[in-house]
Amino acid sequence: MSDKPNIRDHKRRLLAAKYELRRKLYKAFSQVPDLPSDMRDKHRYNLSKLPINSSFARVRNRCISTGRPHSVVEFFRISYIVFRRLASRGSLMGIKKLSW
């Protein structure tokens, strides 16, 4: 399987972390109703000039072993398919198959 989606997602995470503070400040200043409209417009313009991939909305939780974007266990960052396989083998510490 190709690692391209995981690499792209990792780059987006780094970019989002880099521009996080700047993005939050521009967003907060552009939403303050007490500021003059030209200043709010300036902050909205600066917000629009940031890289598109620096937004946290562009970050996708992906499985680190398969790159699968759906049904990812967030704590382990692996998909349920891989999680179940590893858990049944006993490869995950503290996780065991539930049986009644």
The Cα–Cα gap between 9 and 4 comes to 9
pTM to 2 decimal places? 0.75
pLDDT digits (tens, 9 = 90+) for 1-51: 568 888 999 999 999 999 999 999 999 999 999 999 999 999 999 999 999
**Buried b / exposed e across 37-56, counting CB within 10 Å, b at 16+?**
eeebeebeeebeeeeebbbe
The predicted pLDDT at position 97 comes to 72
Q: Which domains does the chain have, with CATH numbers?
A: 4-89 (1.10.287.1480)
